A and B are shown apart, each in its own frame.
Chain A
């Protein structure tokens, strides 16, 4: 197993939201809610765990923010942080000269620089309400949380860590799906992670899947939907096929929020929709119940 390093959790929690890609910012002191358009003061918004105080919209978190939200303070130890993607197909983009299109290797380097992360998932172990837990937490800001070989390998290692230490596993998903630039290697990560979960299941160790906005495509059709207990944050896009593609296929217009956590709950795909502020205590309850 790889070397361990305690990661200072302050690493990605600076108060300026300029450094947080993907967040709509109104200067440094306020953010605008993309759902209800309310202007929220940054300080209140952060205190409210980045949930809109008016409409309850759950903004996306970085992996480290989510770890801080879920794990007991200071308990998280990151593993395999140095795993990175390579370019197994020498993927060439198109059209070659397009300004914001880069070949995969260059794109990876740019994403690492932009996010300060090495890949779209952070794995390790921690305690939640004093119960030990192996965890993998995805980050949408790194290439849309897409799953390539490195993401699949890290998720698999997090599951194997659960098996090795005989502890439950949590995976917090957020992903646009497969990473096209890795072609079939990307698809095979669905088989690899699911096979590892089947092993975990044979050891009778609980697997908790937490779906956050968005969880779609190959990630939803593998480990994200295999939880013994499946939780979701309110209003998260949760689907196999994205709304845009459903609309094209059916020649219809879907109302906003048709395929989300609440839809999944209603159709029997999710066990509970849990507000962000209640996530840690909910995990604690589950860990005690399944201990």
Chain B
């Protein structure tokens, strides 16, 4: 897989050197073999170094990489069985939300996932991964069903946002999202949400009110896509990279703010370089978290979930501020 991102240029050069040498095969001279080994070592070290120090905006480009695995890839690699269920029983079936029961090492869970499209045709089919209201209503229906059959809920979040079209307004996008936010805090089964790529705005949070919120190392979670935020604040989407930085949307920045629970490490160079390894990491984390939350009684589970979100937010009082000013 080529190194095709802007900041990967030094890696691409090393890769080119490596493949030139490799093409020589048997005709490789002794000193060229040494060069090859050095270049390979260099590539690994450089990749480690670059990926350890990604800026927020660079992280955005990894999270949106065209080859990044999507929910369906993890489902295929991680689940023994997945039976996709369709439709909201009211209007239609949305293709940006993929959901249904699945087994992970023998345990049945209800999967509710965003699904982006890979090629042009699938992108269109899945509305660029932006759910319509009927997608959230399908999610609502199946999360309630999970509670009925006592299945834990696993959600994989990967959407830049909810679909912003006129048909979405006609069918009540705001209400559809609000309804899942109202439902999830009281569901009597464990819920684990993982941001695998992009988690954007209410369209992501709508399947993210969980007991545990995990993030892939190079994924992003944000109140609005950087382009949208820049457009709102500065009337210019060209300032997106500054918006991304200022809003602190990377996993590394969100963990210390207490907004997520765990970061799942990605394979060297990003999840798209090793689908299998990423799927194993995800599966192990889900199993571990489910076992942990599974120990709680329903009352404890609901109380902890409520308090988790009840306590999110940082605010002050005027009195405190006056005191601080006086002391300064």
Chain A residues packing against B (C-beta within 8 Å): 82-86, 88-89, 91-95, 98, 101, 118, 148-150, 152-153, 156, 176, 178, 180-192, 194-199, 201-202, 217-218, 220-226, 239-241, 245-246, 249-250, 252, 254, 258-259, 263, 267-269
Contacts and interface: CB of A to CB of B under 8 A. Distances in A.
B38 interface: no
B47 interface: no
B169 interface: yes
Contact of B315 (A85, A89, A94, A217): A85
Contacts of B174: 220-221, 224-225, 239-240, 269
Given A83-B317, A94-B233, A178-B223, 19 more contacts: A94-B234, A94-B242, A148-B313, A153-B313, A180-B224, A186-B223, A187-B222, A194-B178, A194-B181, A195-B306, A197-B182, A198-B182, A221-B173, A222-B177, A222-B202, A224-B178, A246-B165, A246-B166, A267-B170
Nearest to B185: A195
Interface in B297-328: 306, 309-310, 312-319, 321
Given A93-B233, A94-B246, A226 B315 contact: no
Secondary structure type dominating chain B contacts:
helix
Contact of B229 (A95, A180, A190, A199): A180
Contacts of A91: 246-247
B173 A240 contact: yes
A283 B295 CA distance: 46
Contact of A258 (B166, B314, B316): B166
B291 interface: no
Contact of A246 (B169, B184, B224, B249): B169
A49 to B, nearest CB: 27
B177 A249 contact: no
A184 B221 contact: yes
A89 B314 CA distance: 10
A134 to B, nearest CB: 17
Given A94-B246, A191-B205, A84 B181 contact: no
A84 B239 contact: no
B159 interface: no
B96 interface: no
A84 B318 contact: yes
Given A180-B223, A183-B223, A191-B181, A93 B259 contact: no
Contacts of A241: 162, 164-165, 168-169, 173
B168 A82 contact: no
Contacts of B314: 86, 88, 149, 182, 185
B254 interface: yes
A131 B242 CA distance: 50
B239 A245 contact: no
B169 A184 contact: no
A190 B203 CA distance: 11
B280 interface: no
Contacts of A202: 186
A184 B257 contact: yes
Interface string B240-260: 001100111100001001010
B20 to A, nearest CB: 42
10 contacts: A178-B223, A183-B247, A184-B248, A185-B257, A189-B313, A198-B185, A220-B174, A225-B179, A250-B166, A267-B169
Contacts of B108: none
Given A101-B234, A188-B309, A82 B170 contact: no
A98 B235 CA distance: 13
A148, A176, A241: most-surrounded residue (chain B CB, <10 A): A241
Interface size class of B (residues with CB under 8 A): 35 or more
Contacts of B178: 194, 220-226
B318 A82 contact: yes
Contacts of A245: 164, 228
B172 interface: yes
Given A101-B234, A184-B257, A221-B174, A92 B246 contact: yes
A150 B315 contact: yes
Contacts of B186: 198, 202
Nearest to B167: A250
B171 interface: yes
Contacts of B313: 148-150, 152-153, 185, 188-189, 192
Interface in B151-171: 162, 164-166, 168-171
Contacts of A86: 314-316
A191 B173 contact: no
A184 B247 contact: yes
Contacts of B150: none
B179, B313, B316, B319: most-surrounded residue (chain A CB, <10 A): B313
Contact of A84 (B162, B208, B228, B321): B321
B206 to A, nearest CB: 8
A88 B208 CA distance: 22
B214 interface: no
B201 A218 contact: yes
B73 interface: no
A196 B166 CA distance: 30
A93 to B, nearest CB: 7
A239 B163 CA distance: 12
A254 B31 CA distance: 68
Given A180-B243, A185-B257, A226-B182, A191 B318 contact: no
Contacts of B162: 221, 240-241
B168 to A, nearest CB: 7
B249 A183 contact: yes
